[in-house]
Amino acid sequence: MARYHRGMKALFRRVAHLDMDAFYASVELLRQPQLRGLPVVVGGRRGGAMAMPLRAYEGRGVVTTSTYEARALGVHSGMSLMRAARQAPDALLLPPNFEAYRHYSALFKRALVGIAPLMENRGIDEVYLDLTDLDPDSRSLGLRLKEAVRGATGLSCSLGIAANKLLAKIASDLDKPNGLTLLDSDDIPRRIWPLSVAKINGIGPKAAARLYGLGIRTIGELAMADESLLEQAFGARLAVWLRESAHGLDARPVVTESAPKSVSRETTFERNLDARADRRQLSAILVELCERLAGDLARKDQAARTIGIKLRYADFQTVTRDLTVPYPVTGARDILTGARECLRRVALDRRLRLLGVRASSLSGPSDGAMPGHQGELPFGEDAARAVPGVIT
């Protein structure tokens, strides 16, 4: 890893991306260590803590996360529990405990800032760290950070260290779980270029599919792609970003503090879903998104005055709807209520490929948040009132 001169921080940085390994599942295994090494899935209803065979689960829901043993059987985040049960019927299912996840998230982040104070929060289980002015021995520093996380939580993490955020994020995923990957500019052709273009953070399924259609499947092929071809397909501005990213260029700083304008959660489905035929699955996904969004607001200590939804149809047309509520809200119950009201104003007569929920007009919860509206969302048939004919 190169040394960095203080006067040239804008051009030369050393950045780490730290990602907790199968975070939710790993937290659950702290309470039930006898399940270590087994395929474990976290998802479904709250309540209870005992594992049950996935094939015995009845009800709607989606996979929140899974252990690496379950992933090896084809079970991944966002998959419906019904499909997961067909894929791995003997896997063990545990209900999510978001309070515990937020607790362990706070523990590992507190341990990190004791060593690397310049931290950018990227979610409940990942952060960026600016290491530019710290110990120049990146391997030693990386091991120290990993040990601090292990000591504070008993959990493992994967860490990538590189010259910028883009490369650090890719690096943290190269040697999971429990990896430590140091990436220098000389490593890009050997370690980065053979990877799929989808490994670049910011290239989603739609953009990846368009690149595949151009015959560009790897990052190396993107780096060597004809500039005019990219401009024709994506426009001049995005074409420049694609080329720079493929060459490992990224000027973004680690942002230690920012006032969020909005927080959102969304998911792209593995197949296009019909609002009526797949109503139960869509309802479960909506509940899960609202739960996660409530967790994000709690972690950021924010309340929202506006709740919105985002839908993308099978033809890639995207629509959004927003609702301003009479008081700032933080709880999943209120977010879900607002999202349903927004859904009443959307035509659900076409198949869907994406669903998202957004909270905006944020403020501190003390700024008028309604008391008594931060309880857990109830689950079950009578937990949700239906948007007529579609998503409950």
Annotated active-site residue 231? The verdict is no
Going by the DSSP 8-state scheme, the letter that residue 192 receives in this structure is I
Task: Please state, in angstroms and as integers, the Cα–Cα distance from residue 392 to each residue in 12, 77, 269, 293, 311, following that order.
Answer: 50, 21, 18, 18, 15
Task: Find the helix or strand (DSSP H, E) in which 23 lies.
Answer: helix 23-31
Phi, psi of 260 (to 5 degrees): -65, 135
**Do 40 and 54 meet the contact criterion of CB atoms below 8 Å apart?**
no
Q: Which of 28, 126, 288, 291 is catalytic?
A: 126
As a whole number of angstroms, the distance between CA 259 and CA 245 comes to 27
Number of H helices, E strands in the chain: 12, 13
**Do 241 and 335 meet the contact criterion of CB atoms below 8 Å apart?**
no
Residue 35 CB contacts under 8 Å (≥ 6 apart), including other chains: 28, 29, 51, 92
The reply to whether omega before 378 is within 30° of 0 (cis) is no
Q: Beta strands 40-43 and 92-94: pairing type? A: parallel
**Catalytic residue annotation:** 126
